Structure 1
Amino acid sequence: MSPTRTVAEAVGEALVRCGIDTVFGVVGSGNFVATNAMVAAGARYVAARHEGGAATMADAFARTSGRPAVVSLHQGCGLTNALTGITEAAKSRTPLVVLTAETTNRRSNFHVDQPALAEAVGALSVRVTSAATAERYTAVAVDTAREQRRVVVLNLPLDVQSQPAEGLPAEPLPPVPEPGTVEAEEPAGELAEALRRARRPVFVAGRGARAARAELEQLADRCGALLATSAVAKGLFRGSPCDLDVSGGFATPLAAELISGADLIVGWGCQLNMWTMRHGRLIAADAVVVQVDDEADAIGAQREVSLGVVGDVRAVAAAATGLLDDTVEGYRTAEVRDAIAARGRWRDEPYDDAGGAGLIDPRTLGIGLDDLLPAERIVAVDSGNFMGYPSMYLDVPDEHGFCFTQAFQSVGLGLATAIGAALARPDRLPVAALGDGGALMGAAELETVVRLGLPMVVVVHDDAAYGAEVHHFGPDGHALDTVRFPETDFAAIGRGYGFEAVTVRGPADLAGVGAWLAGPRTAPLLVDAKVTRGEPSWWLEEAFRGH
């Protein structure tokens, strides 16, 4: 530490006192002192190879751990490099603090309107303006991120961070109060009445319900509801005999049939958007739609609802359960339960294997990997035509087993997502499912995986193209030269970074994955899967029909 304690040091120390224990970033001159101060105060620093990767790692770590994280960035270009990851986090309401240096000198090459950038992508902006307010503003940034589940960009101007900070209080900051819960019974009473009238209720739980499994299952047991989730909450009801898994584009044919047959759909901390409801096609014309959310602005934001309940999901579910006297069969008939047991997973659906000629069907790949990989896993999936296959064919043990950074639908976030999630849950095998385009976009972070010693399995679904564009525009006769590429030797790339690698062109090649799993796992594994490319994925066909 320098002889005179500076504002940059005070801010770094304050972030740690506020509860931040992990910081991701790329360090440059502007954020060097503050980042080192965080490390000296006890935080773990994870160096990424690109600021975009750092932001996404921090996002995934916060989602998976349930605790706010920090991404530390250089002024100007450091922030702009990270903007896609910051936008994904902001759209997902991830509690994240973006600590970024800032130059207010308009003549500087690094100058850019950073508060405007934050606002443009849906983040909040806080600027440290003086030594006297540095710690207070830092505490405000962390408290806002935590309590309001927001991304907060904490701008630290260069001319301020170098100021002396002697005399600023260093005692622990007061604890942040727990969020309040809704105690009023009137909204829960209306919900309970809707549940009493329903004969075929379905619950769809989203990110806002991930901490409410017990309360939702108890209510569902009482009223006979089937259980489903949005993609980001996949695994929440794993093990329940009435679990339909994911609703929407990824839904199994059986889940789609049962959800579209519901006479009551209750969205719990879930937007019920076009993806979760297949552009509304999963909602019957006469179905009652209820939305429960702790933010009034979220109610009806995506579609018209019959009833909106503003409140904490756990509190509302518990209150509604207390208002229902009798347990009814509802949608949980013997026939429905038997159907879920027989056809509740995508792997239960028959298909014509399209593999051969040196290419593997992605369904066969997913089933084979699911059988080989240990159950205690955490799966992160990039964006692209391929994404439905690993999302639905790789089971996860619970809601902490799936990290899905898809609110902005950016290709290239999958590997960094897996790194952040892996650091939050070191007890599980991390699996990164990527397309060839996303793998190359994020390839710099392969070095991060090796450097951190993560026992990760990276599966690249290589169809030698931007598959979504091929299948979107190809049927109309468009030239596809701009979105098709030669096959890439991802196995060689992986070995170059220090991975073990296996190329998979057929089911027999998966034996190499089994051998790695049985071995010491001293290096991560890259699976270079050459997948079939003749047809679009089922979910993409469904999405195209929605436009």
Structure 2
Amino acid sequence: MKLHEAFAQTLQGMGVDTVFGLMGDANMLYLASFKEAGGRFVGVAHEGSAVGAADAWSRATGRVGLASVTHGPALTNTLTSLVEASRARTPLVLMTGATPIDPTHFQRIDIAAVAAAGECGFERVHTPASAARDLRRALRRAQAERRPIVLDLPIHMLRADIEVTGASAPFALPAPVAPRRSELEAAIEMVAAARRPLVLAGRGVIEAEGEDAVLALADALGAPVATTLLGRGLFRGHQDNIGICGNLSHAVAVNTIAEADLVLAIGAGLGVYTTARGTLFEGKTLVQVDADAAALGWYLEPQLGLSGDARLTAEAMSELLAEMEHRPTSGWRDGVRRALAGHDPRTDVREHRSSGCVDPRLVSAALHDLLPVQRNVVSDIGRFTLSAWPWLHVPDGRAFTTMGAFGAIGLGVAGALGTSVARGGDGVSVLTIGDGGLAMSLAELPTLAREGGPVVVVLYNDGAYGAEHVKLVHFGVDPQHSMTNWPDFVPLARAAGGDGAVIASLDDLEAVADRLRNPQGLFLLDVRVDPEFNVGL
């Protein structure tokens, strides 16, 4: 059997059923073999999108994402997406290949150096006979290290004859661990003494499938619950859920966070937006739980840090509370429940009116009501997020992805592609994106229309690079320098194989309400936003 055939067989034997990529000399043979053997290959227009889609696919499924590109410039095209995936701690393997053994080959590049620049690990296939073992090692490292691993399968090996000695089995995942009992007892002593505890859950709870365990712990403590942005979707609809903690909090959440005397952060990164650079947690006891010991105290130094799996830690803490027959102070949580029951965040919005434009917050809130409940929201980043994220909710933790760990606009379309492929059977995918980000990634719109199933693209179009518009005003410089002159996006959506509508008023949105209640294919909403309108930026 040729190595490229055996390599494709090994991929499938290890449980890989989907690969995102762009074909070239270094990968076309094993990708063809992978497809012929029944695997799904999702071809993209740009190599960066292959990594971006695999990144989002991994976040949506909890599995290692797979991407494949050829050598040289194809690899360097993935660099921004690699850093995004690394900063997001996404387990991913990018398969590429060294050029032919020729020092003058014009596409030669130091693959290990590119991987290092992308904050990734590096592995290589050393010999044709070791290919299965080398691939397995890359997959294991990606899962264990929670970052991308770049795997070099040199082109000169692909047509080598090898003997296949047995079927490949799926690789085993590392077993989760809980903190030591002494550490748990120290933590329980702190949290049980609090009169107004708050439990904050992040993406680590999603990865550990620990939502029920964390809710049970919060109930035993008499604590309301909150989430980070990456944890949104957890506790959806629960009476004790105050929503996102940080600069996206609504009024009741802000008051609750201010009144809390202890924060138990479980699987939460505690970054600058979650904690307002630490100011939200000043004067409070902070207990932090994270599966990665290196993450403890990365942003804020806790009074106590515990390294352990979110679910196992929450379960163990609940058991200790039961052993000590802990009885929570009821008044704190009851007061928060009453405040939540009597609060509608929409009443906090004072509508912004401008000719030919619509308040983007009201559009987002209306979309929440119009779109199917079963949805997956993927977001690019930019000024628009403050008008989208607080209003457009999701049904579960894996239903929200933001492609913003590296601060690069333009990755959202690839993210929507990966999420749609991963969760296509779980409702419509909704992409929120700004005009600058969409303009940067228009080449992938036909891919999204072709491969993505029902997708609604919500384009918040202020005709400017919005954050720069705000900053130029701040520096006393004419913000017109940030304005753009894009073509109409709706015809572009149609050319890509979809459809769309301009939304300059809520009436325009109502006119396409039926298309949103029952989405089919790709549908783009070109939401016209006043560039002078800012929400908390």
Range into which the TM-score falls when normalised by the shorter chain: over 0.9
Q: Deviation string for 1:267-304 (max 9, x for gaps)?
A: 211111112111111112x2111111112111111121
Q: Secondary structure at the match of 1:471?
A: helix
Report deviation, 1:517.
3.3
> 2:96 aligned with 1:100, yes or no?
yes
The unaligned stretches of length 5 or more in structure 1 are: 542-547
Q: How does 1:3-22 map to 2 (within 5 A)?
A: 5-22=1-18
In the other structure, the counterpart of 1:335 is 335
Aligned CA-pair RMSD = 1.8
Match of 1:405 among 384, 387, 403: 403
Asked if 2 retains the 8 angstrom alpha-carbon contact of 1:429 and 1:455, the reply is: yes
Deviation at residue 453 of structure 1 after TM alignment:
5.7
Q: Matches of 2:217 and 2:342 in 1, distance apart?
A: 25
Shift of 1:481: 4.4
1:30 to 15, 26, 30: 26
- C-alpha contact 2:501 2:526 (8 A) present in aligned 1: yes
Amino acid at match of 2:135: T
Q: In structure 2, which of residues 260, 263, 271 is the aligned counterpart of residue 262 of structure 1? A: 260
Amino acid at match of 1:258: T
What is the distance in 2 between the residues matched to 1:487 and 1:441? 11
Q: Report deviation, 1:6.
A: 2.9
Q: How is 1:9-408 mapped onto 2 (pairs within 5 angstroms)?
A: 9-103=5-99, 105-164=102-161, 166-173=162-169, 175-182=171-178, 184-210=180-206, 211-284=209-282, 286-324=283-321, 325-329=325-329, 332-343=332-343, 346-347=345-346, 349-408=347-406
Q: Deviations over 1:461-506 (max 9, x none)?
A: 0000000011022122124344211354111211221212111101
The number of equivalent residue pairs is 530
What is the Cα deviation at residue 183 of structure 1? 6.0
- The alpha-carbon deviation at position 38 of structure 1 amounts to 2.2
**Residue 330 (structure 1) shift:** 5.4
State the percentage of identical aligned residues: 33
The answer to whether the 8 A contact 2:379-2:412 is kept is: yes
Q: Which residue of 2 aligns with 1:545?
A: none
- Distance in structure 1 (CA, Å) of the matches to 2:194 and 2:380: 38
**Distance 1:287-1:253 versus aligned 2 partners, 3 A rule:** same
Partner of 1:544: none
485 and 183 in structure 1: CA distance in 2 versus 1, 3 angstrom threshold? closer
Tell me, in whole angstroms, the C-alpha distance in 2 between the residues paired with 1:7 and 1:62. Answer: 27
In 2, Cα distance between equivalents of 1:327 and 1:388: 39
Question: 1:531 is aligned with what amino acid?
Answer: V
Instruction: Calculate the TM-score normalised by the size of structure 2.
Output: 0.95
Q: Which amino acid aligns with 2:116?
A: E
* Change over 3 Å in CA distance of 1:453–1:351 after alignment to 2: closer
Aligned to 1:441: 440
Shift of 1:130: 0.8
CA distance in 2, matches of 1:403, 1:45: 22
- What amino acid is the match of 2:245? S
Report how far residue 518 of structure 1 moved. Answer: 5.4
Letter of the 1:151 counterpart = P
Instruction: Describe the shift of the 1:77–1:298 C-alpha distance in structure 2 as closer, same or farther (beyond 3 A).
Output: same
What SS class does the counterpart of residue 470 from structure 2 fall into?
Answer: helix
Structure 1 distance, partners of 2:364, 2:107, is 45
Distance 2:156 2:171 in 1: 31
1:10-57 CA distance string (max 9 Å, x none):
223212211111100111121101212222333211111111111111
Amino acid at match of 1:436: D
Q: TM-score when scaled to structure 1?
A: 0.93
How far the C-alpha of 1:312 sits from its partner, in A, is 1.0
- For residues 298 and 363 of structure 2, the distance between their equivalents in structure 1, rounded to whole angstroms, comes to 38
**Structure-2 change in CA distance of 1:146 and 1:331 (3 Å):** farther
